[in-house]
Amino acid sequence: MNNLLEVNSVSKNFGDFKALNNVSITVPKGSIFGLLGPNGAGKTTLIRIINQITMPDTGTVMLDGEPLEAHHIQHIGYLPEERGLYKSMKVGEQALYLAQLKGLPKAEAKKRLKYWFERLEIGDWWNKKIQELSKGMAQKIQFVVTVLHKPKLLIFDEPFSGFDPINANLIKDEILQLREEGATVIFSTHRMESVEELCDHIALIHQSNKILDGKLIDIKRQYKTNTYEVGLLTDNQTQLMNNLKGKFEISPADFKSLNDDLKLNIKLNSNESSNDLLTYLTSQAQVNHFNELVPSANDIFIQTVKNN
């Protein structure tokens, strides 16, 4: 079984409103799977279904080849979007309590918590009250509690939303490390920066429908436009521009360079290769910069949502 999770044709209505329409996703073992989509797309609804908090109207969910049942919940670590902790409890006391709910014996829970608290440099929070913590601080505690019992599937709903850039980075690195150690990760986001660095697979949900999914690299290949960003040094920029205009589709480019380069994006036809372009450019100017323009997750997100 290469897939840890398979969601098959899941639909969910709230009254007359269809929150999910026939959505299927396949999450390979060991992957970091990004569930993307604008606000209100249906991401949290799908995550709640996978966690058996909500039941689908139709469709099935399989975990490791078995239809999802109550006992599977111990194999899933879930960081909800709405993150509630008991305000008046102390941090350590609460973390211990939540860890024991996940089935860890108290001594083991304490050992693991101490390890994680040191690791995330929050050791001195142990005796603080939850209400003394900022939103980001409370989120760190919840992250620890989510991963503590080493579940094989981790699901983070908007994990970066409450964090400053430094802590968001720290959590990003921890997610990569958890995958190294064998976990499979699903996380939802409407912000694309994290996608580039983390995801190998994505599904894009828009207005209750899945409109795109697959390996991120395959999707990027599918969306690439055969465009190269070039920086060209020449004594006669006007002449060079005219020569290029006659042969290629060109537009101004914007990137940093140390030279007074002519900066262009050059789009090739499907029958032209990067080598053809490079050969031509080197006959015309000094090529200081040559870079294939790869569509970003953000470009793909915006373009696909617009077209739907």
Closer residue to ligand ADP in complex, CB, 76/104: 76
| Residues 7-36: x where in contact with ligand ADP by CB under 6 A, - otherwise, as a string | -------x--x-x-----------------
Q: Is 35 helix (H, G, I), strand (E, B) or coil?
A: strand
Q: Are 155 and 78 in contact (CB under 8 A)?
A: yes
Is the Cβ–Cβ distance between 34 and 195 less than 8 Å? yes
Return the SS3 of 281: helix
41 binds, among ligand ADP, Mg ion, none (CB under 5 to 8 A by kind): ligand ADP
- Does position 43 bind ligand ADP by CB under 6 A? yes
- DSSP for 216-262 reads HHHHHHHH---EEEEEEE-S-HHHHHHHHHHHSEEEE-----SS--E
Which one of ligand ADP, Mg ion, none interacts with residue 255, CB within 5 to 8 A by kind?
none
Residue among 14 and 115 whose Cβ is closer to ligand ADP: 14
**Beta carbon nearer to Mg ion, 81 or 108:** 81
Shortest separation between residue 49's beta carbon and ligand ADP, angstroms: 10
Min separation Cβ 82 and ligand ADP, Å: 10
CB of 158 to Mg ion, least distance (A): 6
Kindly tell me which of 49 and 281 has the beta carbon lying closer to ligand ADP: 49
Structure tokens belonging to residue 231: 């920086």
- Work out whether 39 is an interface residue with ligand ADP (CB under 6 A): yes
Q: Which is nearer to ligand ADP, 45 or 227 (CB)?
A: 45
Q: Does the protein bind ligand ADP through residue 40 (CB under 6 A)?
A: yes
Q: What is the largest CA-CA distance in the chain?
A: 76
Residue 37 interacting with ligand ADP (CB under 6 A):
yes
Provide the 3-class DSSP secondary structure of residue 223: helix
Strands 3-14 and 17-28: antiparallel
β-pairing, 184-189 vs 32-36, is parallel
Tell me: does residue 79 bind ligand ADP (CB under 6 A): no
Q: Which residues fall within 8 angstroms of residue 82, CB to CB, at 6 or more apart?
A: none
Q: Please compute, for residue 153, the number of CA atoms within 13 A of its CA located in the half-sphere on the CB side.
A: 23
44 binds ligand ADP (CB under 6 A): yes
- Among 61, 57, 50, 60, which Cα is nearest to 14's? 57
Nearest residue by C-beta to Mg ion?
Answer: 44
**N- to C-terminal Cα separation, the chain:** 33
* 94 contact choice in Mg ion, ligand ADP, none (CB below 5 to 8 Å, kind-dependent): none
User: Which residues form the interface with Mg ion (CB under 5 A)?
Assistant: 43-44, 81
- Give the bridge partners for 14, in sequence order: 17
**Which stretches of the chain bind ligand ADP, using CB under 6 A?**
14, 17, 19, 37, 39-45
